Amino acid sequence: MNATSSLLPDTTHTQVLGACPHDCPDTCSMLTTVAGGIAIKVQGNPAHPHTDGALCTKVSRYTERTYHPERILHPLKRVGPKGAGQFERVSWDSALQDIAARLSTIARRSPDAAQAILPYSYAGTMGLVQGESMSARFFHKLGASLLDRTICAAAGGEGLTHTLGGKVGMRVEFFAESRLIIIWGSNSIASNLHFWRYAQVAKRNGARLVCIDPRRSETADKCHEHIALLPGTDGALALALMHELITHDWLDHDYLARHTLGWDLLRERALQWPPERAAQVCGISPEQISALARDYGACVASHEPAAIRMNYGMQRVHGGGNAARLIASLPALIGAWRHRAGGVLLSSSGLFPVNRAAMQRPDLLGSRAPRTINMSTIGDDLLRPSSLEFGPAIEALIVYNSNPVAIAPESARVVRGFERDDLFTVVLEHFQTDTADYADYILPATTQLEHWDVHSSYGHTDVLLNRAAIAPLGEAKPNTQVFRELARLMGYTDACFAEDDQALCRRAYGDAVNFDELLDKGFATLALAQAPFAHGNFPTPSGKCEFFSARLAARGLDGLPDYVPNHEAFSSSPLYPLAMISPPARNFLNSTFVNVKSLRDIEGEPLLEMHAADAAARGIQSGEIVRVFNQRGAYRCKLEISKRARPGVVNGLGVWWRKLGLDGTNVNQVTSQKLTDLGRGPTFYDCLVEVEKDAL
Ligand SMILES: Nc1nc2c(c(=O)[nH]1)N[C@H]1C(S)=C(S)[C@@H](COP(=O)(O)OP(=O)(O)OC[C@H]3O[C@@H](n4cnc5c(=O)[nH]c(N)nc54)[C@H](O)[C@@H]3O)O[C@H]1N2
Ligand SMILES: Nc1nc2c(c(=O)[nH]1)N[C@H]1C(S)=C(S)[C@@H](COP(=O)(O)OP(=O)(O)OC[C@H]3O[C@@H](n4cnc5c(=O)[nH]c(N)nc54)[C@H](O)[C@@H]3O)O[C@H]1N2
Ligand SMILES: [Mo]
């Protein structure tokens, strides 16, 4: 380049290969167009088969989010009361020195005193580097409390592990060849769009699509059949399907004999569930159950592949773990696993050979064994005093990649916890979220366009690379860099704290993935069998599909899956007669994007969908503001009388920022901190409420 041309504005457009960082099964390969150091556009990578050139509406606005005028671009220190959101600008040096000093003071008090410090994080970015790498190393070295990351998928994940052996299943691309697709607890069009594209191919080729969901979702609209069961009754439905498969002998006896464990026991249990019994529990007709069993069972004689796309929507209830076990058992009954287009997919994340120990270094704990705090009960745990059983009260909280004040259940308790004056809170964020309002320090984090990362996926089987497309905005730093600098200030000299982000990207998979291919193409497909369980080989202790789990029995639990009713069973409370589920609003990603105006404008206001009969009984009309309440609290939103709601169930679409909602609250004001049967997960969709016209 000569001297003259370097003075001209840089008008060259380059395209940088990246990955969508969001908590979504699709993990898209993304192309960012950069001109003059500014990212001007993001688009789906046409060369990546699963992304197929298309991003969802939300992520297409990623540049609007990145250059948002309210991005936090320098460290902030609280100057007003907690929650008031008043901050002043400070330097990185003074913020980090103060934070390191506060953490050291706590940790120095006794050998296990650092347990009073809790990291709180989830999947704001799914990146293996900016997610949990340097941060985990830091907290392990410190000896902080460990965090049980249960907020999303714990019940289903554990159910799957005790049945199939791990978070494993069908490969998503083969759904295109299925003849029957059961979409179970998934609003695929909203939250798994790139799977839906494969299902569409199958549909065009004559496949039948059935959707099992209490809500008549956008996806249910486009399926041949919709089974609108009551929330949390999926286990009863699965048992009745088994009943029908058994009594009509629509079974693959050879597969059952060779590749399953505990069939006689499960058979006996399923025979107690004729369709009439399940229909009563599920609030649907026995005929719907028999017809679905007939379609599913027909695949035995026809040798056609039947596939189930289960998703996490069905496991946010008390019996979510058992329901996932029952549904994951179904393919073995009909031998669906023999086909590459048959079986079940809940999550593919267990197929990725991630080098977690090398990334997170649990060995830095040495002989210390800190307690584990469950992120789903953060409200209660922040309010717990020191005790022998609990250990020290939580004194310091470092939040990154998560917005607990908005997304954790039973907000009133969560807010009271965050309000504690004796709690020291640091939040690494892009924006001043509901959680950041309670911080003592807010530290500005880079977005996916500004840092390197490497990704696995829970909906497909490709590894993705994300290159930084632009320089960090303002004074923002990657999460990794913040923890590197804190480590230095705490005096940690281990070599692992000096590793840079690109080295971490390489370390994530070591030799298991060709890094040059990743650098070059942006993605690399794992070498996996097409029909992994055609001949058994499940990654369970027995190598079989475990209907009976000796591991669960050894824990004193039922070794066989069963129907476990909701904590807040439908109609069990005369005061709160409506079951509320709170699945995501399509244009938000959990609470991310709620502050992006163009997307919030599409969603309008927080919405409650209600069936016309339930609205008439309460004398309330579409468009009116209503109060949704129970013993835990109340929130206000706009009522929509809608065919998307079945009688007795209301859909409170989530997850709004509290401060952008109608009265500084959101759906989690009414959800509970009760946990699931397996996995200690949250029960967001196991929640009774009443609704009335707002008096204000
Ligand atoms: N647009 C968008 N996409 C997202 C997200 C988002 O917020 N917005 N979130 C991402 C995240 S973190 C996740 S975990 C996934 C979530 O996506 P999914 O795993 O699909 O889960 P949900 O969206 O919670 O619920 C899916 C469907 O399950 C239904 N459902 C609720 N209760 C029950 C029940 O008891 N039984 C059955 N059968 N169905 C039930 C809901 O009505 C909903 O339509 O999506 C990811 N993708
Ligand atoms: N009522 C109800 N509640 C729910 C759900 C529901 O369906 N109903 N869904 C639940 C589910 S499935 C999930 S997974 C949880 C999700 O809960 P969270 O994991 O807390 O997800 P988000 O609300 O998207 O918040 C993620 C935050 O991380 C920030 N972030 C993103 N990238 C980075 C980064 O690189 N660095 C830093 N420091 N920050 C970053 C974003 O700005 C955002 O504020 O919510 C749960 N809560
Ligand atoms: Mo999630």
Which ligand 1 atom lies nearest to the CA of residue 184? 38
SS3 category, 368 = coil
Q: Hey, whose CA ends up nearest to atom 5 of ligand 1?
A: 589
> What are the tens digits of pLDDT across the range 260-291?
999 999 999 999 999 999 999 999 999 999 99
Ligand 2 close to Cβ of residue 592 (< 6 A): yes
Write out the two tokens for 66.
């990145």
428 lines ligand 2 (CB under 6 A): yes
Q: Whose CA is nearest to atom 45 of ligand 2?
A: 407
Phi (first) and psi of residue 673, to 5 degrees: -95, 15
Which residues contact residue 666 at a Cβ distance below 8 angstroms, ignoring those fewer than 6 apart? 406, 411, 606, 635, 654, 655, 656, 657, 658
Per-residue confidence band for 5, with pLDDT thresholds at 50, 70 and 90 = very low
**Ligand 2 atom closest to Cα of residue 403:** 20
- Per-residue pLDDT band for 369 (boundaries 50, 70, 90) equals very high
What average pLDDT does this structure show over 54-64?
A: 94
Residue 398, strand partner residues = 119, 426
Q: What is the pLDDT at residue 9?
A: 56
Instruction: Return the pLDDT at 570.
Output: 74
- 643, with CB counted inside 10 A (0-12, 13-18, 19+), is exposed
- Does residue 640 register a pLDDT over 80? yes
The helix or strand, by DSSP H or E, that contains position 30, with its residue range, turns out to be: strand 29-35
Q: What SS3 class is residue 225? A: strand
Query: What is the crossing angle of helices 286-302 and 320-334, to 10°?
Result: 40
Q: Which of 186, 181, 188 is nearest to 205 (CA)?
A: 181
pLDDT over 90 percentage in the chain: 95
Q: Note whether 460 and 26 are within 8 A (CB).
A: yes
pLDDT at res. 222: 98
Q: Which atom of ligand 1 is nearest to the CA of 24?
A: 46
DSSP state of 110: S
**Can you tell me the distance from the alpha carbon of 159 to that of 185, in angstroms, rounded to the nearest whole number?**
15
pLDDT digits (tens, 9 = 90+) for 425-458: 999 999 999 999 999 999 999 999 999 999 999 9
Which amino acid is it at 245? L
Q: With cut-offs at 50, 70 and 90, classify the pLDDT of residue 13.
A: confident
Whether 136 shows a pLDDT value over 60: the answer reads yes
In this predicted model, what pLDDT tens digit does every residue of 66-80 receive, in sequence order? 999 999 999 999 999
Gap from CA of 518 to ligand 1 centroid (Å): 30
Residue whose CA is at the smallest distance from ligand 1 atom 10: 24
- The whole-angstrom separation of Cα 593 and Cα 611 is 28
Single-letter amino acid code for the residue at 91: S
Provide the token pair at 359: 């990334």
User: Are the C-beta atoms of residues 605 and 594 closer than 8 Å to each other?
Assistant: no
Which residue ranges have their beta carbon within 6 Å of ligand 1? 23-24, 152, 184-187, 190-192, 212-215, 217, 231-232, 234, 311-314, 317, 581, 583-584, 586, 588-590, 685
Cβ-proximal residues to 628 (8 Å cutoff; 6+ apart), any chain: 580, 608, 634, 635, 636, 637, 650, 652, 667, 670, 689, 690, 691
State mean pLDDT over 496-514: 97
CA quadruple 680, 237, 164, 511: dihedral sign: negative
Verify whether ligand 2 is closer than 6 Å to residue 673 (CB atom): no
Q: Does ligand 2 come within 6 angstroms of the Cβ of 434?
A: no
29 lines ligand 2 (CB under 6 A): no
Report the alpha-carbon distance of residue 116 to residue 532 in Å, rounded.
44
**Closest ligand to Cα 231:** 1
> Rounded to whole angstroms, how far apart are CA atoms 110 and 130?
31
Query: What percentage of residues in the chain have a pLDDT greater than 70?
Result: 98
- Is the per-residue pLDDT at 3 higher than 60? no
By C-alpha distance, which of 684, 694, 695, 688 is closest to 155?
684
Helices 320-334 and 154-161: angle between axes, nearest 10 degrees: 40
Ligand 1, atom 25, residue with closest C-alpha:
313
Confirm or reject: Cβ of 672 under 6 Å from ligand 2.
no
Cα 153 from Cα 158, distance rounded (Å): 8
Domain range list for the chain? 76-152+352-521, 156-346+531-554, 578-693
User: Please, which pLDDT band fits residue 2 given cuts at 50, 70 and 90?
Assistant: very low
CA distances from 175 to 25, 169, 198, 199 (A): 15, 12, 6, 6
Ligand 2 atom nearest residue 402's Cα: 20
Contact 687, 569 (CB under 8 A): no
- 443 phi and psi, to 5 degrees? -110, 130
Which ligand neighbours the alpha carbon of 592 most closely? 2
Q: Confirm if 252 and 246 have CB atoms less than 8 A apart.
A: no
- What is the predicted pLDDT for the residue at 573? 77
Which residues have CB atoms below 5 A from the ion given as ligand 3? 152
Structure tokens at 403: 């917005």
At the topology level, CATH places domain 76-152+352-521 in Rossmann fold (3.40.50)
CA distances from 156 to 328, 497, 684 (A): 10, 35, 14
Instruction: Read off the pLDDT of residues 397-436 as tens digits, 9 standing for 90 and up.
Output: 999 999 999 999 999 999 999 999 999 999 999 999 999 9
Q: Are strands 545-546 and 260-261 parallel, antiparallel or unpaired?
A: parallel
Is the pLDDT at 4 greater than 60, yes or no?
no
Instruction: Specify the DSSP class assigned to residue 49.
Output: T
* CATH topology classification for 156-346+531-554: Dimethylsulfoxide Reductase; domain 2 (3.40.228)
In the structure encoding, which two tokens stand for residue 83, read together? 């929650």
Q: For the domain bounded by 578-693, which CATH number is listed?
A: 2.40.40.20
For every residue of 597-627, DSSP letters joined together read: HHHHHHH-S-EEEE-HHHHHHHT--TT-EEE
Q: Cβ neighbours of residue 89 under 8 Å, at least 6 residues apart?
A: 74, 75, 76, 77
Mutate to test the pocket of ligand 2, among 375, 427, 430, 501 (most ligand atoms within 8 A of CB): 430
For residue 191, the CA-to-ligand 1 centroid distance in Å is 7
Q: Which ligand is nearest to the CA of 644?
A: 1
> 267 CA to middle of ligand 3, Å?
33
Single out the residue of 57, 58, 66 nearest to residue 37, CA to CA: 66
Mean pLDDT of the chain: 96
User: Do residues 419 and 82 make contact, with C-beta atoms less than 8 angstroms apart?
Assistant: yes
